[in-house]
Amino acid sequence: EDQVTQSPEALRLQEGESSSLNCSYTVSGLRGLFWYRQDPGKGPEFLFTLYSAGEEKEKERLKATLTKKESFLHITAPKPEDSATYLCAVLNSGGYQKVTFGIGTKLQVIP
Amino acid sequence: NAGVTQTPKFRVLKTGQSMTLLCAQDMNHEYMYWYRQDPGMGLRLIHYSVGEGTTAKGEVPDGYNVSRLKKQNFLLGLESAAPSQTSVYFCASSYPRTSGNEQFFGPGTRLTVL
C-alpha cells in the first residue's frame, strides 16, 4: 500500500528564516509526486509535479526536490503570506489514477 | 475560467437526511474525483470518474453514491446521512497524461451531520 509521511507536522519560522519540509514516500512505481498548498477554509492549490529522482522545480521562494525515497520543499526567506498547510501526494503506476496524500505540514511565518 | 466549483459551501443535516453535492469544472477535464478531508487524516478518495457516464469506488465509498451524466459535472449523494460523514468534501478534476496527473481542487463543502 502506498504511504506518504510528512514532517514536521507543524513549523513556525521567523520571516526570512529559510527551512525545508520533508515528504517520505513508499509507492509501487512512482508516476508523479505532487506538492500542494492549502489555505484555511480553501481547497488545495497545485504547486509542483516531480517525476523522477534528481528533478527540481522552483516557484518564487519555493523549491521542490525529489529523491527515490523522499521529497523536500525548500522555503527560502519566507514571508508571512507563505503561511499555509503544504500537502505532498504521490501517484502510482497502477491501473487507475490513485493519488495518496500526506497529512501535511502546517507552516506559520511570523513577521 | 472558473476552474472547479462546488455547491453548496456549507450544509447542516440531521441523521438520516439525504443531500447531493454538486461539482462543476470548465477545464474540459476527463477525470473527476470526490475526496473527504478530516482532521489528522490526509485527503481520502471517495469515488472517481474517468469519463462521462463512468464512475468507480475509491478508498472510502460506503454511504455515498455518485453520478457523472455530463462531462463537466460530478455529483456526490448521501442517501442517509450519518454523523461519521461530518467532514469537508473536495471535488477535483484532472486531464490524464502518460506521466503525472495533477489534480485541481474546488473550494470545498463543509458538511455537519447532527
Are β-strands B10-13 and B109-113 bridged in parallel, bridged antiparallel, or unpaired? parallel
- Residues of chain B above pLDDT 70, percent: 96
CA nearest A104: which of A36, A12, A6? A6
Q: What is the DSSP letter of A55?
A: -
User: Which cell numbers hold the place of B35?
Assistant: 475526496
- Which pLDDT value is given to residue A68? 92
d(CA B49, CA A60): 34
Q: So what's the pLDDT on residue A111?
A: 96
Residue B105, chain A, CB below 8 Å: the answer is yes
Q: What pLDDT does residue A92 have?
A: 83
Task: Give the pLDDT confidence score for residue B96 in this predicted structure.
Answer: 73
Cβ distance B102 to A49 less than 8 Å, yes or no, reads: yes
**Average confidence score pLDDT of chain B:** 93
pLDDT at A34: 95
Beta carbons of B42 and A87 less than 8 Å apart? yes
Asked if B40 is an interface residue toward chain A (Cβ–Cβ < 8 A), one would say yes
What is the length of chain B? Answer: 114
pLDDT (mean) for B14-41: 95
Q: Any chain B CB within 8 A of the CB of A103?
A: yes
Mean pLDDT value of segment B27-49: 93
What is the SS3 assignment for B85? helix
pLDDT truncated to tens, each residue of chain A (111 aa)?
889 999 999 999 999 999 999 999 998 888 899 999 999 999 999 999 999 999 999 999 999 999 999 999 999 999 999 999 999 999 887 766 778 999 999 999 999
* Cβ-based neighbours of B62, under 8 Å, separated by 6 or more: none
Quick one: average pLDDT of B40-48? 92
Region B47-60 average pLDDT:
93
The stretch B20-34 carries a mean pLDDT of: 95
B28 lies within 8 A of chain A by CB: no
Query: Tell me, what's the pLDDT at A57?
Result: 96
Shortest alpha-carbon distance between residue A78 and chain B (Å): 25
The pLDDT value recorded for residue A80 is 97
Binary contact (A43, B90; C-beta < 8 A): yes
CA distance B7 to B4: 10
How far does B15 lie from chain A, in Å, by closest CA?
24
Residue B16 sits at φ, ψ, to 5 deg, of: 95, -15
A16 CB near a chain B CB, below 8 Å? no
B30/A contact by beta carbon, under 8 A: no
Confidence band for B2, pLDDT divided at 50, 70 and 90: confident
Would you state the pLDDT for residue B99?
A: 52
Under 8 Å CB-to-CB from B33, ≥6 apart: which residues?
Answer: B45, B47, B48, B49, B58, B74, B91, B92, B93, B94, B103
Q: Which of residues 17-46 of A touch B (CB under 8 A)?
A: 31-32, 34, 36, 41-46
DSSP state at residue A80: G
Region B27-35: what's the mean pLDDT? 93
